[in-house]
Amino acid sequence: MNKSIVMDSVEIDTLEDRYYVRVIEDGVVTIKGFGSEADAKAFAKHEHTRLGLDAVKQPGTGQKLRYGFPEG
């Protein structure tokens, strides 16, 4: 059984025309809402770089994002 815990991650999700960036740092969750997708992606990119992560995850789609854009 795999009991690994994700300690650091950055995820973008949408709900009713709002964009939410969920940052998990050392197991602590912080969520910040944005009115525009561009602002959410810019914030996610900053957090991604700050935490030294290799990808941003978009929940519910199983799709990984790099700097807020789908990986090719």
How confident is the model over 14-59, as pLDDT tens digits? 999 899 999 999 889 999 999 999 999 999 999 988 888 865 565 5
User: Among residues 33, 24, 17, 15, which one has the least CA distance to residue 51?
Assistant: 24
Query: When comparing pLDDT for 63 and 14, which is higher?
Result: 14
Residue-level pLDDT at 1:
47
Position 26 scores a pLDDT of: 87
User: Which residue is associated with the tokens 């935490």?
Assistant: 51
Sheet with 69-70, side-by-side order of all strands: 28-34, 18-25, 9-15, 56-58, 63-66, 69-70
